[in-house]
Structure 1
């Protein structure tokens, strides 16, 4: 197995192992404290476990070469999984928000307990998450794997709800502000919902073959215009599937030159696009002009 594949796999396994530890730790903390802010963080960690498992599967599955039944590869499985995850996140956020509003509106909110052990558990969660993010970012820099980079970004966003949970437990223990827990949980639910909508939109756009972002298209156009021997281009089409970019492009070449020369120009342009967008699937058609 290549070194880059081993690094990507190790990052995926580290992500899954960390997520399992965090879920177990927060389950214990929730049982000790009954804090909704910890429940929100637990839901986020359960989501992280699903995302990490999906990322690990994607590293294996998306790397499979195209076959007779999947001529364009298997990367669409990532988008299907992401769409399912988005629905799961929205459902979790709705449940947490409902529980938080119920506690906020209650005349006699349920007191928290064992805030000290809960704070220790959440502090340990922050430490584990930070160490994982540092390792994932190192791997992403070494290998350029976008799945690992995206998973790292997701875990980085988890640090704020964890810090909020610690603040809620501290405020309950030292200031008697029991409703702070519900406020933090409500804010965490909002963050979960926003993240779910972003994930769902990205997955839906990919499944519907939406074009790549304008900046990506502009960069491909610039590379094409700057390629020596290309007199023009048309019918540039792009789409994304999972982490993979697909590019279909017609370039206009001197019709009097040899096929070898035309092929060399097309190969040069293809390599330029691949250097800019590693792992892209690039198809270039040649159209002769006088």
Structure 2
């Protein structure tokens, strides 16, 4: 587990470092070109930096073991960070969209300058992003960390705005089509907004204890069904907190077996669930087959 944490932290550090370099490069490129497509890419990289730093902090904090005040661990820090980041992304998308529309409607839009320098910066951005995604993919395959996976998908999505910025700068330099820059910026702003809504929804659902995704529940049910010694199950509940999945279930066992025997079955089932759903927390309650609920028990939900 310590090795996986180190690998996840290395991916987070790489992500934050690349984002910091890209922000610095694009600030310079924006000053040189005055291109809104570069501004959109800069905002995206600035958001990447915040997301990466938040993800790095979340990975480090979430890796802390449960303590007296946080019996279920610290993984919800990932969701809190994502919630705040999504608000920042939406604000950035709104500012970019407003500026792009204003430039499209302007009678004398501001000309683009030094397009070649801007194209060079965006090309470097693409190369750095591609290298980062390659490293994140390698780490994600070995650790199955959802923060690293999400960050990887986000950087993959960044490649399109970077390519769009290069095309808009090229069109401006070659054909004088400066309006394409605003159109590309609008598209990039829309992509940012869609990403912000997705991040917000995922974080909100987790903080509101929404059940795990349907495919995860299906995987859990597949393990439970027909597991040796388990005659049935009920009260299956799941929820997400950051990158951790919490699973609670009641299983029905032969009441004639000894405590040692039923414990061995439940322990084997727990190992199977942990293997099927990595980074999960599993709690199993054992019931005898055919037990009748006590009238004073709370109704099952």
**TM class by shorter-chain length?**
over 0.9
Q: CA deviation at 1:35?
A: 0.3
Which residue of the partner structure matches residue 224 of structure 1? 224
Which residue of the partner structure matches residue 212 of structure 1? 212
Which residue of the partner structure matches residue 38 of structure 1? 38
The 3-state SS of whatever aligns with 1:158 is helix
Which residue of the partner structure matches residue 196 of structure 1? 196
Which residue of the partner structure matches residue 263 of structure 1? 263
Q: Does 1:4 align with 2:4?
A: yes
Which residue of the partner structure matches residue 48 of structure 1? 48
List aligned pairs for 1:48-87, cutoff 5 A.
Answer: 48-87=48-87
The 3-state SS of whatever aligns with 2:82 is helix
List aligned pairs for 1:111-190, cutoff 5 A.
Answer: 111-190=111-190
The 3-state SS of whatever aligns with 2:247 is strand
List aligned pairs for 1:240-279, cutoff 5 A.
Answer: 240-279=240-279
How many Å separate the matches in 2 of 1:32 and 1:224? 61
The 3-state SS of whatever aligns with 1:283 is strand
How many Å separate the matches in 1 of 2:83 and 2:10? 25
List aligned pairs for 1:89-104, cutoff 5 A.
Answer: 89-104=89-104
How many Å separate the matches in 1 of 2:158 and 2:90? 16
Q: Does 1:239 align with 2:239?
A: yes
How many Å separate the matches in 1 of 2:155 and 2:236? 36
Unaligned runs of 5+ residues in structure 1 are none
Q: CA deviation at 1:287?
A: 0.5
Unaligned runs of 5+ residues in structure 2 are 291-301
Q: Deviations over 1:89-109 (max 9, x none)?
A: 111100000000001111222
Q: CA deviation at 1:142?
A: 2.4
Which residue of the partner structure matches residue 27 of structure 2? 27
Which residue of the partner structure matches residue 297 of structure 2? none
How many Å separate the matches in 2 of 1:258 and 1:112? 79
How many Å separate the matches in 1 of 2:8 and 2:72? 22
Q: CA deviation at 1:242?
A: 0.5
Q: CA deviation at 1:5?
A: 2.7
How many Å separate the matches in 2 of 1:166 and 1:199? 27
Q: CA deviation at 1:146?
A: 2.3
Q: CA deviation at 1:214?
A: 1.5
Q: CA deviation at 1:246?
A: 0.4
The 3-state SS of whatever aligns with 1:256 is coil
Q: CA deviation at 1:150?
A: 1.6
Q: CA deviation at 1:193?
A: 0.2
**Bigger mean CA offset, 176-185 vs 4-13:** 4-13
TM-score by structure 2 length? Answer: 0.94
Q: CA deviation at 1:255?
A: 0.7
Count of aligned pairs between the two proteins:
290
How many Å separate the matches in 1 of 2:277 and 2:182? 44
How many Å separate the matches in 1 of 2:221 and 2:203? 25
How many Å separate the matches in 2 of 1:227 and 1:5? 31
**Bigger mean CA offset, 262-271 vs 196-205:** 262-271
Q: CA deviation at 1:145?
A: 2.3
What is the alpha-carbon root mean square deviation over aligned residues? Answer: 1.1
Q: Deviations over 1:59-118 (max 9, x none)?
A: 211011111111111111111111111111111100000000001111222110000000
Matched-pair contact (CA < 8 Å) for 2:59–2:78: no
